[in-house]
Chains A and B, each alone.
Chain A
């Protein structure tokens, strides 16, 4: 039972109109939609996501670099990604709301938890992928351990690391849609309150979320390409670095 094309088009035109023009709410008491409100929600959405990814970076990059350099605690660095996949995002948010309450801090922290696994695992895997002979050669030239990390391993791991940051950012932007349940208005507000915003509001907000995520992903893809050392681009099979899901993660898991 697929509705006719014309009705589908009307629904989407209405949704796009919601983004640009204000209208009466479902109950007719307030005015909803329009660029100002959608822009405000999108700014909130972006801010909480950015903050969560930034904190996750600050926490997981040093740990990942350190463990990756030493080649220790592989079960931790890889296992965290497996656990992160098994626990659903909605369950994590719900857990925070039920046990720790609502608010900006709590939702940021919950999103940070979601952002950590891909960054940590990719940092670790990126460091482990570096050719051990290069590290030996660097040590032979008299570089200190810190210099080995800073000048040899980090540049070579950077592309894989960015693959992880990219996956984190996309996950967090997607999950910030349910932040209204934790008391923060984001683009999820029209989606979760159809009685106020109507179907046009739901679909309009969904369009903005999708555009925001796809743009962010494309931006990261560009950065990922820029930070890939020239040597790796030439040597790598098929050119560019692995994208959102580095194959190597499972290579390590298999063993």
Chain B
């Protein structure tokens, strides 16, 4: 699980290389020309940020969906699982990164473990409410047609709950992109390190902020497109 992390070895090199420069960057300005010339410096951190955002969301989705389906069958599990995932969500991300350090060591793995834990509550809740919101009539009709409970779940309940479940996935993705900005404290990569290493330089903060916001929006749009694609009946109903 080790992505090429050469950027970590560089550490704060980003700052120091700028200090020698004259003109706009030296004055912490916005410096459009400097940004255009040095955009490549953000490439590796950006790719790392995508990695430490997408992987936790994917793992978290798999875990939370499984837990949600389990709790849908065994109703008594809903309260303890909601409590557990909420408690995980409440621990501040920065604290979680540091508390995991002695156990999982510095690097992307620690970030991924902590960020995965944060996605659970959001997705789990939406799986539960999505499944609970399936119209009783649809379930009765499906039962009347002789569907087994497995067919009922995968053929009727899950598809109808999908918009709610994917809404959770969208929130989880946007939240994870933001929290992953703190992952540098766990020795992981990502744009957070760039921000922190040069926090008074307007151009740097602007580029990182825009890239992070774009990444969150892009992930959101990806899930939304996927949702349109897998729930064609909703388009049919609205047109």
Interface residues of chain A, those whose CB is within 8 Å of chain B, are: 1-3, 7-8, 11-12, 85-91, 94-95, 97-99, 170, 173-174, 177-178, 181, 188, 191, 199, 202-203, 205-207, 209-210, 213-214, 217, 238, 243-245, 247, 250, 253-254
> How far apart are the CA atoms of A244 and B89 in the complex, in Å?
9
The closest CB in chain A to the CB of B98 belongs to: A206
Given the contacts A86-B220, A91-B195, A94-B195, A173 and B92 also touching, CB distance less than 8 Å: yes
Q: Is the CB of A90 within 8 A of B89?
A: no
Interface residues of B (CB under 8 A from A): 28, 78-79, 82, 86-87, 89-99, 101-105, 121-122, 125-126, 129, 163-164, 167-168, 171, 174-175, 177-179, 181-182, 185, 192, 195-196, 199-202, 204-206, 208-209, 212-213, 216-217, 220
Q: A2-B103, A87-B178 are in contact. List 9 more A-B contacts (CB 8 A).
A: A87-B213, A91-B181, A94-B205, A98-B205, A98-B206, A177-B94, A203-B102, A214-B91, A245-B125
In the complex, the answer to whether A213 meets B182 with C-beta atoms within 8 Å is no
Are A11 and B105 closer than 8 Å at their CB atoms? no
In the complex, which residues of chain A have a beta carbon less than 8 angstroms from the beta carbon of B174?
A: 85-86
Q: Which of A86, A205, A210, A253 is in CB contact (< 8 Å) with B216? A: A86
| Shortest distance from the beta carbon of A197 to any chain B beta carbon, whole Å | 12
Q: Is A250 touching B126 in the complex (CB atoms < 8 A)?
A: yes
Inter-subunit contact B178/A99 (CB<8 Å): no
Smallest beta-carbon distance B197→chain A, Å: 11
- Inter-subunit contact A90/B181 (CB<8 Å): yes
A200: min CB distance to chain B, Å: 10
Q: Which residue of A lies closest to B99 (CB)?
A: A206
Point out the residue from B99, B171, B179 that lies within 8 Å of A210, measured CB to CB.
Answer: B99
CB within 8 A of A214: which of B87, B196, B201?
A: B87
Q: Which residue of B lies closest to A249 (CB)?
A: B171
14 A–B contacts, CB within 8 A, in A order: A3-B103, A7-B102, A86-B216, A86-B217, A87-B216, A88-B179, A90-B195, A90-B196, A91-B181, A91-B209, A99-B202, A177-B94, A210-B95, A213-B95
Shortest beta-carbon distance, A212 to chain B, in Å? 9
Tell me whether A181 and B178 are in contact (CB under 8 A): no
